[in-house]
Chain A
Amino acid sequence: MSDISQNGAPKRTGSLLSKDARTAKRNRAESRFKLYGILAIAVGLLMLVTLVYNIVSRGTGAFTQTFVTLEVTLSEDKLDKKGNRNLDEIKKVSTFGYAPLIKDAIGKEVEKLGIQTDLPAKKQAAILSKSAAAQLRDYVIANPDKIGDTVEFRFLTNSRVDGYMKDRVSRDSIANDKSISPAQLDFVDQLVAEGVIVKSFNLDFIFGADASDQRPEAAGIGVSMIGSLFMMLVVLVLALPIGVAASIYLEEFAPKNWITDVIEVNISNLAAVPSIVYGILGLAVFINYMHLPMSAPLVGGLVLTLMTLPTIIISTRASLKAVPPSIRDAALGVGASKMQSVFHHVLPLAAPGILTGTIIGLAQALGETAPLLLIGMVGFIASNAPDSVAGGLLSPNSAMPAQIYEWAKRADPAFYERAWGGIIILLIFLVTMNTVAVILRRRFERRW
């Protein structure tokens, strides 16, 4: 290996304090190598910083949203013509029936503030989100006794106005745009000056449901977050016991013969199988054969369980192997049975490693989209919040990475901003999970 051993140590001449040419060369080689190492880390860090900078700078916009505060008169002759407050009859008025109320409300506001504008009423109302009518209708159905009153509402503006407030949209960029005109932006400026339009933190982005292509301003990641949560629950409840039981048996009890060798090779192989394959399997087995519902977090969780199992088994076996045989021998020596030695001594000592492996496996499953494509969890899935929680594992739901993918595909640039915002939330989850894994390992790991 070293140069010295080749043909005996070269004769050293001169003082030990002055370096000869060979030593200087070796020292130079070492410092060069150190430099390469530092450069490699620097490149890695630079990429990380660029990535984080890009994500944060593009995504933070999704956390604020532009709102308009208006007083809406819930007039009886539009919402409840018979005046008997019969909920079934009130429900017959569709969201389209609520649009005139909003138009009147904005007209009144303009009159009250004395804003001079030539904009026709329909165009004035067009700066509001299309979700406004649905928001009104939900309120009226929840509070039918308020019909006839004037109630203050906080509506979203549409995505173009929101983009204008966030400097994404300018008068130049809308030159060919049919959905907004410069006159409408002037009107927005007037309302901003009066404090009717304000930009503030948008909790609905974190807790809300997805919205259709026409109202990106109303879309939120909350429901898909619940979907991801349900799936992780299924993965944890299934993959952890199955994985740990399998590894304990393979590691501690199974005889070493060709069958266990084949199983071992196959487990390693499964860990490397592309995740989309598990999606195809899930579609064939869970949906077509077992008739579980499509788009359900239960099926997603089962598919991800299959995907996570090899990871958990491999890391569990590694941490079981790391427990020194002397512990087992000591337990057996004082009269414990094989099972007692495993459950009372080996398993507790291996637990930190198992937990770390499980958390990393879960984090991997959390960021997975491909297998979900085939079982119907990628698409427009907007169950409203209470339904999606109450429906639990069987009601249709999306997952965070699937939701991000879906947003990135849509036409309106406002969805693009939300996709980046979604990435921030997903990253926060992943970083938290991985940090917990590191902390657990640091605190409980024992070395022999």
Chain B
Amino acid sequence: MSSAWSKFASPSTFYPLAGRMIPVFWVLAAGSLLVGLYWGFFETPDQLGGSNAQKGYYRIIFLHVGAAWMSMWLYAVMVGWAAIGLVFNTRLSYMMANAIAPTGAIFTFLALWSGAFWGRPSWGTYWDWDPRLTSELILFFLYIGYIALHSAIDDARRADRAAALLAIVGLVMVPVIFWSINCPDPNQCAALHQRSGLGKVDGDILFAMLMTTLGFWMYAFATTLMRVRTIILTREAQTTWAAETIQAEVRS
């Protein structure tokens, strides 16, 4: 790796940098969430586009879809960091993967929760074994498994590497698992497969959805960086720079 990268990969350089970035991400998160939610609640039609007869309560979509997207992306990002950690043996990458997991799990939970509340008026039930719901539930289990394995191992190095390997195995299995849930009968997969595209969605709805998703991204950055900073301080507690940082922060 080039020297610039390895410089930023060092926890002592990254710690203050992350500290400066966190407020920026919080502002961006609040801003885009406000715009997205305002647009979603006041500037969108009362009916979901096309022949879909849902009324105002579909507006939970602005939280639900964003959260569901985030839950899947964050898993991929987490595995990406974990893989980088395993290949280049950089401690900061493991810390990133480790910090992303709770945020990802929260988004998964939020997607399930908001889905249940949307399902109640539109399907008449909180829970249905719909492929997407089931996939989301399994994804939640995968996050929980990662977090549980990491916290069950005392030695930080082993915990990082074991959890990273588990995350990669999970990512390899995810398409197979989702496929098997989507299509339990291989004789008639094509008929069961739900299709949806963003092209058909009303412009205002799409804008609001994308804005809240952007807000979620910024929120994810902010919380991840905050968690990484905590992890860095805990792990590097014995170094002089960490001790000085802690002292300075206690004083201020």
Q: Do A and B come from one complex?
A: no
B interface residues (Cβ-Cβ under 8 A, vs A): none
